[in-house]
Amino acid sequence: MTTLLTLDDCRRRDAADPLRPLRDLFQLPEGVVYLDGNSLGALPKATPDRVAQVVRAEWGTELIRAWNTAGWADAPRRIGDRIARLVGAGPGELVATDSTSVNLYKVLSAALAIAAEDAPGRRTIVSERSNFPTDLYIAESLARERGGTLRLVDAADLPAAVGADTAVLLLTHVHYRTGAMHDMAAVTAAAHAAGARVVWDLAHSAGAVPVDLHAANADFAIGCGYKFLNGGPGAPAFVWVHPRHVDRFRQPLSGWWGHAQPFAFVPGYQPAAGIGRYLCGTQPQIALAALEAGLDVFAAAEPLGGMAALRAKSLALTDLFIALVDARCDGHPLGLATPRDPARRGSQVSLTWHGDAPEAAHAIVQALIDRGVIGDYRAGDGSAEPHILRFGFTPLYTGFEDVWQAVEQLRDVLATGAWRDARFHRQAAVT
């Protein structure tokens, strides 16, 4: 049954890959197989010059005039429109601004306020127990602030756990640990049928998997600029609100950039119409320029098939990784946390470690990084949540030969026990 895949097969697939030219738009260090673009996207070659231009020419020469002459004032909306195309939102419906955590605070506030008007009994936020910590921390504070409850459930209990008390269901579309992907349309429909609104966190989806917020009839969405969108460390995030909700509520961070007339300097807050009210303060132009350069790569992908082609390649890469780990790392205490079903898989593969040395998963990742294969490790609690070795596949720049090399190094690290070396057992602040 199993077809034996060879290095040559992988090289042939790279040669035949219509998206291969996109890799040349990135500055990837020689000898590195980068499988962490789901955490921090790689550097597009155009970004340093674009950032230098903003600093030298726009800031340095135009000074304050650049807010108008260089399009600074308009950047959150202009860049937002470009992200909108990747996630099935309409023009003028999405802005690039602030961080994912801050944007979550805004949309969750709005969702709770809408529920308070429409159905005052509904004050519970439901989320996945294993959702990304910042999402749960923000939800916890808001529940406390609004006198509501945060109820954490397992994915298997969804959408049944959305009940008569539920104001909002908060989910991350592609799970950061496992790479499992929710069926956005089906979950949204079920939550709506139960009377709740849904906030989707697209941190691991935008630029990685096709998303159609309108087709799914979603209510609110937020997402990250520095993962698959390659906007650089701490890049501005994004926020989208369905037009049916957007003018109903003033998000609580009522800064002057969200005002209907920010430069009128009038007393009293009047929210801008539409998504503009989700802006707060002055936006970081240098960071926005880097994000825009990241989005230029997606513009270059459009004539090559766009998100559909990127998704096809992403699945081909993750299928290959899974098949090669099955075939070549057999006999080691590894499991697969990521769904084998392509329809339920994002753009990463997470392996679990079940060996009796629980610190091994971390050490294996460190040993791989030492050999130029950069993935990451996410600690579990050792029982219900296993330790995870996480490998992100960015179809813009990851090749089939990269997948081969990654599995070959993993096979060798396991077979030789190279991970047992003491230098791979030191803990770093950010891993």
Q: Residues with catalytic annotation?
A: 132, 201, 226-227, 390
Asked whether position 204 contacts ligand PLP by CB under 6 A, the answer is yes
Q: Which of 146, 148, 245, 268 is nearest to 199 (CA)?
A: 245
The two structure tokens encoding residue 256: 């002057």
Nearer to ligand PLP by C-beta: 142 or 309? 142
H/E element, 190: helix 184-193
How far is the C-alpha of 359 from the C-alpha of 355, rounded, in Å?
9
| Nearest distance from C-beta of residue 205 to ligand PLP, angstroms | 10
Q: Which is nearer to ligand PLP, 346 or 399 (CB)?
A: 346
Is there binding between residue 176 and ligand PLP (CB under 6 A)? Answer: yes
172 near ligand PLP, rule: CB under 6 A: yes
| Residue 188 touching ligand PLP (CB under 6 A) | no
Report if residue 220 touches ligand PLP, rule: CB under 6 A.
no
Q: Which stretch binds ligand PLP (CB under 6 A): 201-209, 276-284, 398-406, 423-431?
A: 201-209
Contact 280, 253 (CB under 8 A): yes
Polymer length of the chain: 431
Among 9, 14, 134, 339, binds ligand PLP (CB under 6 A): 134
* Residue 201 contacts ligand PLP per CB under 6 A: yes
Among 101, 149, 217, 270, binds ligand PLP (CB under 6 A): 101
The window from 153-161, 196-204, 335-343, 389-397 that contacts ligand PLP (CB under 6 A) reads: 196-204
Burial of 422 (0-12, 13-18, 19+ CB in 10 A): exposed
Residue (208 or 369) nearer to ligand PLP, CB = 208
Amino acid letter, residue 415: A
99 binds ligand PLP (CB under 6 A): yes
Q: Which two tokens stand for residue 385?
A: 């949540």
Q: Which stretch binds ligand PLP (CB under 6 A): 77-85, 127-135, 156-164, 357-365?
A: 127-135
Buried b (16+ CB within 10 A) or exposed e, 380-418: beeeebbbbbbbbbbbbbbbbbbbbbbbbbbbebbeeeb
How many residues make contact with ligand PLP (CB under 6 A)? 13
Q: How far apart are CB 103 and ligand PLP at their closest, in Å?
A: 8
Measure Cα distances from 40 to 62, 175, 201, 337, 429 in Å. 32, 16, 17, 21, 16
Give yes or no for a contact between 389 and 431, defined as CB atoms under 8 angstroms apart.
no
10 versus 388: smaller Cβ distance to ligand PLP? 388
Write out the residues near ligand PLP by the rule CB under 6 A. 99-101, 132, 134-135, 172, 176, 201, 203-204, 224, 237
